[in-house]
Copies of this chain bind each other. A is one copy, B any other.
């Protein structure tokens, strides 16, 4: 957040008026060839233009044309592990920021790194996601577009986020578990399949498929970059 001081604005206004009026004086002098006339016109212009500018500003203050409030929204990206959520979210956030929007990427992994005590049982996950929803709402209230990428396998907490935020846009990354498992280099899918990891959505626990997502993307067919582009073009009108 930047602020310009009143003094800067005042000095800048004076410097513009000086420069603008000197320009007028110069033009008049070139045409009329009379220094006295040129400076008299300049002298009157200084005051008259300030007055005219003031009324011009007040008039435009009343004209609504072209002025719109940016209503941010919460873009909630849900899907299995290794489905490409984080990458899509990162690209989308950068795109939004590049377009001049305030945007924040909340990512499941980085937040869990900060709160290692967060559990993986159903109630732990639901509680975690609900709190993220609250964080998203607070950011949304401050005019920030939130891009949230969380596995978020349970309907209960996703619905809580939908309720608690003003504008919720749900993106379901529908990439099948087999495709995600093939991409997995850390061996989490193998560990889950062997029974080593309990509560692993899509393998050892259920991923509750969203019933009414605003957008469905399968990253077995679509590149992450294009997926981010798809989401952006869908939400653009909403902003």
By a beta-carbon cutoff of 8 Å, the part of chain A in contact with chain B is 1-5, 7-9, 11-12, 15-16, 19-20, 23-24, 27-28, 31-32, 37, 40-41, 44-45, 48-49, 52-53, 56, 60, 65-70, 72, 100, 102, 104, 106, 111, 114-115, 117, 127, 130-131, 134-135, 138-139, 141-144, 164
A4 CB contact (under 8 Å) in B11, B16, B66: B66
Majority-rule SS of A interface residues: helix
A-B residue pairs in contact (CB < 8 Å), sample of 25 = A2-B69, A2-B70, A3-B67, A3-B70, A5-B66, A5-B68, A8-B67, A11-B66, A20-B49, A23-B49, A24-B24, A27-B45, A28-B41, A31-B41, A32-B37, A104-B141, A111-B134, A115-B127, A115-B131, A117-B127, A131-B131, A135-B135, A138-B139, A139-B142, A142-B144
Q: Given A23-B45, A27-B45, A104-B141, 20 other A-B contacts at CB below 8 A?
A: A1-B102, A1-B143, A2-B67, A2-B70, A4-B67, A5-B67, A8-B65, A8-B67, A19-B52, A20-B53, A24-B24, A24-B45, A27-B48, A31-B41, A32-B37, A102-B142, A104-B142, A115-B127, A134-B135, A138-B139
| Cα(A164)–Cα(B114), bound, Å | 10
Given known contacts A2-B67, A131-B131, A138 and B49 CB-to-CB distance under 8 angstroms = no
A138 to B116, CA, bound (A): 18
Q: Which residue of B lies closest to A146 (CB)?
A: B138
Give min CB distance, A58 to chain B, whole Å: 13
Contact of A60 among B1, B12, B41, B100 (CB under 8 A): B12
| Contact between chains at A56 and B8 (CB < 8 Å) | no
Chain B min CB distance to A5 (Å): 4
In the complex, A153 Cα to B159 Cα: how many Å? 33
